[in-house]
Structure 1
Amino acid sequence: MYADFRCNIHPAGPQRVEYLIDWYFNKEFMMQYNSTLGKWTGLTPAGLISASVFNENPFDVLQRKEEKQLICVDNVGHALNATRDNIAAPSVRLVEASGSGGDTTLVCSAYDFYPRHIQVAWLRDGQEVTSGVTSSEVLTNGNWTYLVHSYLRVTPGGRDRVTCKVEHVSLKEPKLRTWAEHEARDSETGFLLGGACALLLGTACLSSGLMVHRRRRYSNVL
């Protein structure tokens, strides 16, 4: 049996500190304490029983509050000072990739950021999307920075605006990248029409030039 203790500092502000305890038994994630909830949550049948016992124990409740203060809150400043000189904001890129069955897959990539913890979410018309979303693990770049990819499968034909939102402790506000199928389609159509017009204009100018050249040549012969 072992436990993993950690403190999460919310990207929106260092004052929002969350204290977590992950409790394992026989390598199975049994239950978790979350200071935001203020209680233990059981994740297995045995964990449900243990969590209920801990939650009903006033001494355990008091102990977890004291631990949060001593382990997390009192050390936030030290943790931030240790990483502030090395902190790096993520670069974010949103691209469209072909999917299976006629669907489109959007890829949102955040890279060159430090420290490791980052949050990537998808929004459709301002509402968070969870269906059709997959993500890679946070990977190391080999230069002390990290990268992560998040994927969203969308069905063609919609007129929704899809936004990738990235939050990181280095950012004062989230980075947003937006994609809209109809805007991309209109832009592509406009590009093709512009190219066609330019091609026609170039052909017309070339034909006119050849006609003038031939007339001058004919005049010189006469």
Structure 2
Amino acid sequence: MGVSRRSVLGGVLSSPLLAATALSPSADAAEVLGTAQDGWLEILWTALVQTETDRRGTTVEAIAPAELIQRDGRRGLRFPLRSAQGDPALANPAHAQGTAAADGGFVLREAAAEVRVTRLAGDVRDEQMSARYMVNNVDSGVRPMFTWHTAEGVLSVVPGVLGAPATLKMSNLPVRMTREMVDLVTTSMRSFGFPDITTDTVVAHVTIQGSYLSPLS
């Protein structure tokens, strides 16, 4: 079965969002994982993605409690996070791992089509994420989808006091598609007139923050 134009565009728009939903690994040793609370993420699409949505007359609508945002002339979405656990690996953040889910969702609308993306969840390990979500109430399944280089973002840590959670924030992190995701959508993207996307193409920048409680606290 081919990949529709709607699913291609949905994949490009949702890729950085899904990558951000994993605060840090689903993990083999649950006893070493901390938990995160009061988390949120923001995604701002790159000019490439935004230009393409504008050219096609595609609109994006947030599904509450998600919200539409605008920063420095760029558009995107903000989502609250829930059910987050993991290990931020502060000594070497490139090895952070964890799972999380985002509340809310978003709707993509074109003249004769609508795509609803909900139940967003991600599993991160070593700068790569597998994601799962619902598209028009159909389960997307799970596959390696998105990558990033942690050193390209800005990590800030505000330590907690006397066992209180630490506040962790990763800002302006560029997000790209994995080879598997690029291979999946490339043929259809070309046939529908989308610009080429490679594993080096940044599709969005993500900022994510949460209060992290270490299992040793």
TM-score by length of 1: 0.26
TM-score by length of 2: 0.26
Q: Which has the higher contact order (CA 8 A, sep 6+)?
A: 2
Higher helix fraction (1 or 2)? 1
Higher strand fraction (1 or 2)? 2
